[in-house]
């Protein structure tokens, strides 16, 4: 197995073959794999998605690889469309694929900017007025939110506030199907966590941890908050469209990047930029449980499993049913044949995890999770190689993992998978350390983890 080359992502492509120290990078480099920058950026900030990454990382990649207007970028894990938004702003065409239905809705909505300004303002004002009329003329006291929403939603808000949110929801739901309806839906969605009376941050909702006093719970004008949010979103669109002579075409596909995308021609993409799910046992499908419950798109854990978990690549034990797998045969035969050296290492670590889980209270199926992740990523890499032009590069922001203390160097293993599917070479740069906030947890492993940039090159 060839040694991975370190490179300097932020210092220019002329240093691509120079081995550099990975320690001591400044905050700008450390933030590339986080959503921090995007929290303040127009359009990106419409939905807080901590599983996302910095839009500045995409801008830097386009600068380094000289990606110009009219060229094409692909993101196989489109998320909330960070890559595609940056591309459109710069006149670069893009394809994104996202398997999570609600996150796909968010990304698709963030990419539609073709509103007539005056008509959009009229629609916002008309929506707000319709909500106010419903509040004035409706029998608000008769609305029993406890029979409308799952218990989790009811625990997040005062009864009065949730009633107002419900009225807003219903007025939006009865709008004619249109881009504006999606726009309004996303605007209300973006308020759900900020208006909650309990802790609803990343990664877990905590109904028992209140964040507001009794007076504050009933002292929020939900309708005005929605109006302000929609006006800010309108201003964001105007800002990013200002002085843009050319906006790139964005195709945001609800689909599975493990499969062939018929709408993307072979060798048609100039660069691929993405951040795949990390092998960290985080349930990405659970991230939008509050939002999906609020909109009635799911009502239970089983709904989330059927509508979301079943669509995603394996990166969490919540997707695992042990009875469907055979211990000792977790890696697919085509993975073993494609990457025999990596498969040998992985099989030993998977076997170790199979034994370690028996001594752990949770008995988590990390062995199946790890095998499933690499089985899935092999298919993703094959499809990515197909759509990328010769001479193109495939950039991934990703993290390594250490389930039950067994280290999985995801960057190196995926680099070798890339070579197996046809990429000529790969390079790795460490961006930042991670997992430090858990260092005092006695149940936590002591393996140092990192976030990296993996770059594969196609000849």
Please give the Cα distance from 97 to 105 (Å, whole number). 12
Q: Are strands 93-98 and 5-6 parallel, antiparallel or unpaired?
A: unpaired
Bridge partners (DSSP) of residue 98 are 254
Q: Do the Cβ atoms of 102 and 286 come closer than 8 Å? A: no
Q: Do the Cβ atoms of 313 and 375 come closer than 8 Å? A: no
Q: Are strands 269-274 and 72-75 parallel, antiparallel or unpaired?
A: parallel
| pLDDT string in tens for the chain (459-residue length) | 544 444 445 443 333 332 223 333 233 555 554 556 767 799 999 998 877 789 999 999 999 999 999 999 999 999 999 999 999 999 999 999 999 999 999 999 999 999 999 999 999 999 999 999 999 998 898 999 999 999 999 999 999 999 999 999 999 999 999 999 999 999 999 999 999 999 887 656 777 777 766 666 666 899 999 999 999 999 999 998 887 778 999 999 999 999 999 999 999 999 999 999 999 898 999 889 999 999 999 999 999 999 999 999 999 999 999 999 999 999 999 999 999 999 999 999 999 999 999 999 899 999 999 999 999 999 999 999 999 999 999 999 999 999 999 999 999 999 999 999 999 999 999 998 887 665 555 566 678 899 999 999 999
pTM for the model? 0.90
Task: Tell the burial category of 260 from Cβ atoms under 10 Å away from its Cβ (0-12, 13-18, 19+).
Answer: middle
Please give the Cα distance from 444 to 421 (Å, whole number). 35
Q: Report the topology of domain 5-114+245-457.
A: Rossmann fold (3.40.50)
**What residue spans of 190-286 are helical by DSSP H?**
214-217, 222-241
Q: Are strands 198-199 and 206-210 parallel, antiparallel or unpaired?
A: antiparallel
From 385, 362, 365, select the one nearest 373 (Cα to Cα): 365
Show me where the domains of the chain are located: 5-114+245-457, 117-241
Q: Report residue 443 as tokens.
A: 């149940």
Q: Do the Cβ atoms of 388 and 426 come closer than 8 Å? A: no
Please give the Cα distance from 94 to 105 (Å, whole number). 17
User: Dmax of the chain from CA atoms?
Assistant: 72
- 454, containing H or E segment: strand 449-457
Q: Report residue 340 as tokens.
A: 């025999």
From 228, 145, 137, select the one nearest 188 (Cα to Cα): 228
Please give the Cα distance from 218 to 451 (Å, whole number). 42
Please give the Cα distance from 38 to 48 (Å, whole number). 8
Please give the Cα distance from 73 to 55 (Å, whole number). 14
Q: Is 103 helix (H, G, I), strand (E, B) or coil?
A: helix
Write the DSSP string, 310-348: GGSPS-SGGG--GGGS-TT--S-HHHHHH-HHHHHHHHH
């Amino acid at each position: 197995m060839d040694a991975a080359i370190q490179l300097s992502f932020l210092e220019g492509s002329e240093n691509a073959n120079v081995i550099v120290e990975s320690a001591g990078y400044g905050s700008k480099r450390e933030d590339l794999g986080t959503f921090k920058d995007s929290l303040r950026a127009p359009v990106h900030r419409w939905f807080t998605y901590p599983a996302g990454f910095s839009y500045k990382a995409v801008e830097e990649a386009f600068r380094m690889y000289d990606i110009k207007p009219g060229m094409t970028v692909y993101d196989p894990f489109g998320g909330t469309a960070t890559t595609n938004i940056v591309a459109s702003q710069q006149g670069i065409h893009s394809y994104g694929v996202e398997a999570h239905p609600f996150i796909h809705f968010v990304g698709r909505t963030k990419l539609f900017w073709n509103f007539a300004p005056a008509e959009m303002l009229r629609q916002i004002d008309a929506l707000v007025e319709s909500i106010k009329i419903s509040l004035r003329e409706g029998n608000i006291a008769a609305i029993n939110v406890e029979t409308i929403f799952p218990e989790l939603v009811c625990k997040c808000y005062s009864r009065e506030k949730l009633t107002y949110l419900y009225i807003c929801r219903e007025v939006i739901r009865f709008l004619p199907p249109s881009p504006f309806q999606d726009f309004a839906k996303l605007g209300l969605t973006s308020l759900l966590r900020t208006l909650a009376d309990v802790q609803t941050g990343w990664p877990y909702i905590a109904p028992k941890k209140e964040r507001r006093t009794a007076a504050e719970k009933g002292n929020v004008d939900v309708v005005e908050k929605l109006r302000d949010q929609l006006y800010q979103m309108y201003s964001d669109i105007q800002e990013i469209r200002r002085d843009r002579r050319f906006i790139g075409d964005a195709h945001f596909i609800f689909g599975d990047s493990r499969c062939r995308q018929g709408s993307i021609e072979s060798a048609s993409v100039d660069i691929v930029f993405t951040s795949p799910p990390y092998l960290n046992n985080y349930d990405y499908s659970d991230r939008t449980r509050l939002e999906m419950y609020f909109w009635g798109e799911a009502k239970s854990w089983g709904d989330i499993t059927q509508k979301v978990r079943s669509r995603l690549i394996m990166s969490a034990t919540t997707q695992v049913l042990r009875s469907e797998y055979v211990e000792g045969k977790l890696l697919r035969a085509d993975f073993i044949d494609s990457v025999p050296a990596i498969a040998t290492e992985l099989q030993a670590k998977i076997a170790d995890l199979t034994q370690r889980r028996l001594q752990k209270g949770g008995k988590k199926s990390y062995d199946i999770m790890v095998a499933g992740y690499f089985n899935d990523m092999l298919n993703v890499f094959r499809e990515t190689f197909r759509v990328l032009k010769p001479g193109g590069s495939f950039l991934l922001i990703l993290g390594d993992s250490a389930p039950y203390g067994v280290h999985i160097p995801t960057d190196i293993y995926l680099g070798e998978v890339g070579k197996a599917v046809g990429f000529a070479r790969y390079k790795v740069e460490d961006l930042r350390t991670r997992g430090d906030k858990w260092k005092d947890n006695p149940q936590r492993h002591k393996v140092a983890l990192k976030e990296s940039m993996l770059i594969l090159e196609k000849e």
